Each structure stands twice: as structure tokens, then as C-alpha cells.
């Protein structure tokens, strides 16, 4: 894992981490994000929701993407901004409910926890992003 600490841009605190394609990368991403968010003095439910969304996005990137996985996090007064970038061409999409299917619920979790989420494709890859609301004071 390579940790690249971002700079404070006034109202937004940002950081980026790069994870190799290894089975433990989703767990490492959760740990890295949790430590970063706890330094930002976020409440525990928001940290837990952000860690779960991160786990789902990184797991999808590892399963369906290619190359290293880049996790970006940004904090504003109102939001936790998450994005995961990989060099795979397959764009994620919500799967229809299927009681006989094992797995395939990651984006359902993201859909329920995030205020909004989406995919930004680019030549040679994609970024899947999610925005979580921060509770007010």
C-alpha cells in the first residue's frame, strides 16, 4: 500500500491511498479509511458507513477491475466523499434482486448508505464514487 497524504484546501481535507491487487486490500482500505476519518473527528456511525461503502467499492474494483486500486477520500463540512479508481473497463451496475444468488449486493449497500453515487468512465478505466452525508452538529 502506498499512502499519499493530500493537502488541506481550507474547507476540504483530502487523502489518497493506492492498494495492490491482493485479497487483503479491501481490509487494508477499510483500516486506512477508518484511521483517516477518526482523525477528522467524525461520529462513529458515519465512519462505519463510510468504511462499509469503501469495502464494497474496493472489493468490486478487485473482483471486476484491473491494476492497482486508488482510494480517494475528501471531507467537507457536509459530506464524506469517496472514490475508487481502477483500470478495468467493466462498469458496475445494480443487479436485480435474486434470492438464489450468492453475492452481488455490494452496490445495493452503497445505494442505501450513500446520499448519491455514480460511475465516471475514462479511457483505460473508471472511477466509482459515493457521497455520504455528515450529520450536523
- The predicted pLDDT at position 80 comes to 94
In this prediction, residue 137 has a pLDDT band, given cuts at 50, 70 and 90, of low
- The predicted pLDDT at position 17 comes to 95
Stated as kind and residue range, the H or E segment containing 24 is none
What would you measure as the largest C-alpha separation in the chain, in angstroms?
49
Residues 6+ apart with CB under 8 A from 53: 82, 109, 110, 113, 114, 130, 132
Q: Count how many domains the chain has.
A: 1
94's grid cell: 445494480
What whole-number distance in Å separates Cα of residue 55 and Cα of residue 33? Answer: 10
Give the model confidence (pLDDT) of 9-27 as tens digits: 444 788 999 999 998 999 9
123 is in which domain, residue-wise? 2-133
The CATH number covering residue 25 comes to 3.30.565.10
Exposure string for 39-70, b = 16+ CB within 10 A, e = fewer: eeebeeebbebbbbbbbbbbbbbbeebeebbb
Give the model confidence (pLDDT) of 47-91 as tens digits: 999 999 999 999 999 988 889 999 999 998 899 999 999 999 888
Amino acid at each position: 500500500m502506498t499512502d499519499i497524504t493530500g493537502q488541506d484546501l481550507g474547507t476540504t481535507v483530502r487523502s489518497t491511498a493506492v492498494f495492490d491487487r491482493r485479497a487483503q486490500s479491501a481490509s487494508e482500505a477499510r483500516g486506512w479509511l477508518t484511521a483517516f476519518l477518526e482523525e477528522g473527528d467524525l461520529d462513529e456511525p458515519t465512519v462505519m458507513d463510510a468504511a462499509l461503502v469503501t469495502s464494497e467499492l474496493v472489493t468490486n474494483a478487485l473482483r471486476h477491475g484491473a491494476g492497482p486500486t486508488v482510494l480517494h477520500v475528501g471531507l467537507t463540512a457536509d459530506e464524506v466523499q469517496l472514490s475508487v479508481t481502477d483500470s478495468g473497463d467493466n462498469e458496475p451496475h445494480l443487479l436485480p434482486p435474486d434470492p438464489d444468488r450468492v453475492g452481488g449486493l455490494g452496490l445495493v449497500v452503497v445505494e442505501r448508505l450513500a446520499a448519491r453515487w455514480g460511475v465516471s468512465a475514462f479511457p483505460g478505466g473508471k472511477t466509482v464514487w459515493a457521497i455520504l452525508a455528515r450529520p450536523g452538529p
